Structure 1
């Protein structure tokens, strides 16, 4: 029996940063391939016309998922409150996009800056955790005022020293203690950090609102070492019925390639990556 999920794909497969000029072509391509959702990576809100996205959503009948990008200038664990304020403004802009696109949540590792991976004393880590909890509780209040949620994503140890596993992010959600705080999991990070992917998904449980996937090496789903049976079992156990979204990155953008350490293509073209990934996922879910 098929699991009741939809399939989506991240705009990062093809482009960075996503901008208005990309909208129609990417939506048309995504729909033509057979995807039901497109995950928009919002790097710079000023580059995106939300009305153009609305129009493309309607024309190509695609659901939109919104995913944030959190670099050093958007770090809620930074000592400088001006950096927090900048992050709050960015998140507020993303929430406005969520409303315009009928997206119920903003996803991403918004507790800290991506790439912030250090050896620090336990007391400092505790203080940064508490700061993340405090600031994310503020973010949850912002989200709830618009009837939205946030989906917090654990990252692997090379990209974050704060939240790495499903157990970590559940603890963060519990500490935030706000109904708007939810979870997104990414199979790539899970392949590094989780001893048992099925158990990790079950740990996230009712909090899980979005699921990203690629292979263990960020390649085409189905071509690597990922335990796809464990993922399916976990999603079935918790009754997940949201979007399963392919996330990988184009190596053509050198700034992005450096951030995610992708130096070579994983398919003859990014279109081939997307088509082959979807074909595998449809077979896997069926």
Structure 2
């Protein structure tokens, strides 16, 4: 059964002690199984304090972040690769110490808009780094999720098929594809088919809607998305991600173009997302049963 989670940025933009305690407590209060903790500053996370809050709330945790230009392992720059590998290993150790089951995000390139396409050599060198990261992840029993994002946030993985290709090249059972329906709505020809074809390579999934507001209030066929997840027999975490100018600040506000206040009440947004997700998963599972229920006597 899928563990259902919510991204910490629904509650707060930072991870101070107050932010951490608030985000974890609210996640548990709404009824989620886990929180996706996220920070671009790995040194800002107090692991023992976070662990205590998670234990107190009785929920699990996943962890996400992204590389930057100076740590871009796809850049064909040896210094960037070395810094990127060190940052990935540091984040993996942090996730392990937190007790996180997954570490995900834009881990195969920089989290930025590129002005040129990726290169075969850049991909090859990124794969080599991620093979070593995968070995460390296996020792730590953590799944690494390579997030597939739109063309304005990376030039390496923009489609599910590219993520499958990279996972196959890496060849680690602990490096998987991280799909996000917001990005798939921009880049995929058929979201449902892309999910199904990702198959066993799918290790983490983000829900959201076309405008990153309330689930079901945008233009994405979310019923079809959940049916595809069930048809693919996906058993991993499903985490709701949403951004509003009410919470996020710089640098994410600028990187992601969060110019509008898409919601006012974090609790209401998250409660709706959990209810909606549970209902869609239930409907998708029931749809799977219709073939058996429709057999002639």
Fold shared, TM-score > 0.5 on shorter chain? yes
Equivalent residue number for residue 159 of structure 1: 153
Specify whether residues 36 and 146 from structure 1 end up closer, same or farther in structure 2 by C-alpha distance, changes over 3 A only. Answer: closer
* CA distance in 1 between partners of 2:111 and 2:217 (Å): 27
Equivalent residue number for residue 221 of structure 1: 215
- Larger-gyration structure (1/2): 2
Instruction: Indicate the structure whose relative CO is greater, using CA pairs within 8 Å and at least 6 residues apart.
Output: 1
Specify whether residues 6 and 145 from structure 1 end up closer, same or farther in structure 2 by C-alpha distance, changes over 3 A only. Answer: closer
- Return the match for 2:241 from 218, 238, 247: 247
- Return the match for 1:73 from 41, 56, 70: 70
Q: Under a length normalisation based on structure 1, what TM-score does the superposition of the two structures give?
A: 0.91
Q: Deviations over 1:55-95 (max 9, x none)?
A: 11111111101112222232111233222222222222222
Equivalent residue number for residue 17 of structure 1: 14
- Residue pairs, 1:16-55, within 5 angstroms: 16-55=13-52
- Return the match for 1:234 from 221, 228, 233: 228
1:108 shift after superposition: 1.3
1:21 shift after superposition: 3.3
Specify whether residues 45 and 12 from structure 1 end up closer, same or farther in structure 2 by C-alpha distance, changes over 3 A only. Answer: same
Does the Cα contact within 8 Å between 2:213 and 2:243 map onto a contact in 1?
no
Does the Cα contact within 8 Å between 2:113 and 2:151 map onto a contact in 1?
no
- Structure 2 SS opposite 1:9: strand
* CA distance in 2 between partners of 1:170 and 1:285 (Å): 24
Equivalent residue number for residue 192 of structure 1: 186
* CA distance in 2 between partners of 1:147 and 1:285 (Å): 27
* CA distance in 2 between partners of 1:141 and 1:20 (Å): 32
- Residue pairs, 1:1-286, within 5 angstroms: 4-120=1-117, 125-251=119-245, 252-286=248-282
Q: Which runs of 5+ in 2 are unaligned?
A: 283-297
Q: How many residues matched?
A: 280
Higher mean Cα deviation, 229-238 or 86-95? 86-95
* CA distance in 2 between partners of 1:28 and 1:145 (Å): 30
* CA distance in 1 between partners of 2:14 and 2:124 (Å): 31
Higher mean Cα deviation, 196-205 or 141-150? 141-150
